[in-house]
Amino acid sequence: MAPVLILMGSQSDWPVMQHAAQMLKDLGVEWRAEVVSAHRTPDLLKTTMEQAEQDGVPVVIAGAGGAAHLPGMLAAFTAIPVLGVPVPSKQLKGLDSLLSIVQMPKGVAVGTLAVGPAGAANAGLLAAQIIGSFDANVRQRVHAFREQQREKVMNGPKLELPES
């Protein structure tokens, strides 16, 4: 199977988007990351999606900040599921990115995750869950991850007031 494709509009988005890569790695899902700008390299955006279709990429994770057109533009060129991650901006803290990604017109679907590192990690998890719908090994690793999360909660410290 081709790897999950993680795309971002700028190298500066990598500190957020690496959380998607780490989640995929932790779940044993192959991935590759590239910078493709909707505004600065629209020709590369189109050819990247054409190649993804040919390669059989199962899911695309796209991170973008500011105007955040990348996820929607990618989705316009493919039938591959696109998961959008709003990358926080300095000016509006990612609200601008969130609104740009979540407000897609009817007929061009982008699954939108939370702003920032948590959204990127969940995009990796959701991509693994999508792959797990047809790959039992990945599905089992997602179940194991969920069990680890449960155990952390169940075995956490007891909540008590400090002694006075």
User: Which CATH number characterizes residue 75's domain?
Assistant: 3.40.50.1970
> What is the model's pLDDT at position 66?
84
Whether the per-residue pLDDT at 16 is higher than 90: the answer is yes
Residue 118 lies in a domain: yes
Residue 34 in any domain: the answer is: yes
- Give the whole-number percent of the chain exceeding pLDDT 90: 90
Question: Does residue 11 have a pLDDT over 90?
Answer: yes
**pLDDT category, 56, cuts 50, 70, 90?**
very high
Residue 113 lies in a domain: yes
Of 17, 5, 12, the residue nearest 116 (C-alpha):
17
Report the predicted TM-score, pTM, of the whole model to 2 decimal places.
Answer: 0.94
Residue 144 above 90 pLDDT? yes
Structural domain contains residue 125: yes
State yes or no: 141 annotated in a binding site.
Answer: no
DSSP state of 58: -
Q: State the total domains in the chain.
A: 1
Residues spanned by the domain of 19: 2-153
Structure tokens given for 103 = 């407000």
Q: Is 130 left (phi over 0), alpha (psi -120 to 50) or beta?
A: alpha
The pLDDT of residue 89: 87
Provide CB contacts within 8 A for 147, sequence distance 6+: none
Mean pLDDT of 35-63: 96
Residue 162 forms part of a structural domain:
no
- What is the H or E stretch that residue 151 is in? helix 136-154
Helix (H, G, I), strand (E, B) or coil at 61: strand
40 labeled part of a ligand binding site: yes
The confidence score (pLDDT) of residue 90 equals 84
